[in-house]
């Protein structure tokens, strides 16, 4: 029972993170941009391979833990509340890794392909769509889920993994992506 409680609470924490991931990206990244995250995010969009420095992300993780753990422990007790907060912050860490990996490395499975197409449609197709990175859940809930067609990537922002030795897109990715501009 205890193990089940801990597991359930941690999963709920991960789910809570996916909601925060959506809200932070959509509203702090794209709507009210004059905040620390908004500034970093604008730069991420314009430079493509720019990511906020690791200490800032560790700062964000500490902040998430500091604001979520005490009330959760107060409401649900040390075990369930603590597991929920750890699940939330742990999944935040997974999101950071997954997002960076999507930009730096090619897909290795169907989920990896989906993550990249979903996210690069947000970057290069329509930035008002596909705010979730780890899942389509909240985009579906809020009506911002869009199925990308062939994604047209600006040549100067093209991800390294999408470029063959000749600077063009390898045949394996041509159905999913095309280059535009010079
Ligand atoms: Zn990105
Ligand atoms: Zn964005």
How far from each other are the two terminal CA atoms of the chain, in whole angstroms? 60
pLDDT band at 15 (very low <50, low <70, confident <90, very high): very high
Domain count within the chain: 1
The mean pLDDT value for 142-149 works out to: 97
What SS3 class is residue 152? strand
Structure token digits, residue 24: 């932070």
For a pLDDT cut of 90, what percent of the chain falls above it?
91
Which numbered ligand comes closest to the C-alpha of 116?
Answer: 1
* CA 2–ligand 1 middle distance (angstroms): 38
Q: For residue 162, is pLDDT > 80?
A: yes
Q: For residue 154, is pLDDT > 80?
A: yes
Give, to the nearest 10 degrees, the angle between helix 54-104 and helix 2-23.
80
Where do we find the tokens 């449609």?
121
- The boundaries of the domain holding residue 66 are 2-180
* CA 152–ligand 2 middle distance (angstroms): 16
What's the whole-number average pLDDT of the chain?
95
* pTM above threshold 0.85: yes
160 with 173: CB under 8 angstroms? no
Which numbered ligand comes closest to the C-alpha of 102?
Answer: 1
* CA 108–ligand 2 middle distance (angstroms): 23
* CA 101–ligand 1 middle distance (angstroms): 10
pLDDT, tens digit (0-9, with 9 covering 90-100), for 67-89: 999 999 999 999 999 999 999 99
* CA 124–ligand 1 middle distance (angstroms): 10
pLDDT, tens digit (0-9, with 9 covering 90-100), for 81-135: 999 999 999 999 999 999 999 999 999 999 999 999 999 999 999 999 999 999 9
* CA 131–ligand 1 middle distance (angstroms): 10
* CA 119–ligand 2 middle distance (angstroms): 9
pLDDT, tens digit (0-9, with 9 covering 90-100), for 30-41: 999 888 889 999
Would you state the pLDDT for residue 49? 86
How far is Cα 57 from Cα 54, in angstroms, rounded to an integer?
5
Q: For residue 1, is pLDDT > 80?
A: no
């Amino acid at each position: 029972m205890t193990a089940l409680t801990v597991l359930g609470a941690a999963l709920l924490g991960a789910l809570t993170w996916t909601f925060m991931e959506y809200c932070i990206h959509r509203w702090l990244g794209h709507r009210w941009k004059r905040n620390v995250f908004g500034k970093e995010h604008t730069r991420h969009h314009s430079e493509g391979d720019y990511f906020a420095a690791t200490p800032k992300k560790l700062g964000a993780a500490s902040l998430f833990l500091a604001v979520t753990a005490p009330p959760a422990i107060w409401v649900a007790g040390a075990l369930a509340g603590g597991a929920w907060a750890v699940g939330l912050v742990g999944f935040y860490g997974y999101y950071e890794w997954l997002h960076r990996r999507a930009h730096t490395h090619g897909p290795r499975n169907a989920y990896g392909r989906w993550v990249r197409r979903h996210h690069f449609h947000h970057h290069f197709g329509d930035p008002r769509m596909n705010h979730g990175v780890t899942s389509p859940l909240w985009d579906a809930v809020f009506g911002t889920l869009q199925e990308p067609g062939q994604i047209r990537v600006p040549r100067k922002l093209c991800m390294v993994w999408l470029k063959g030795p000749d600077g063009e897109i390898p045949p394996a990715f041509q159905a999913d992506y095309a280059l535009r501009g010079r």
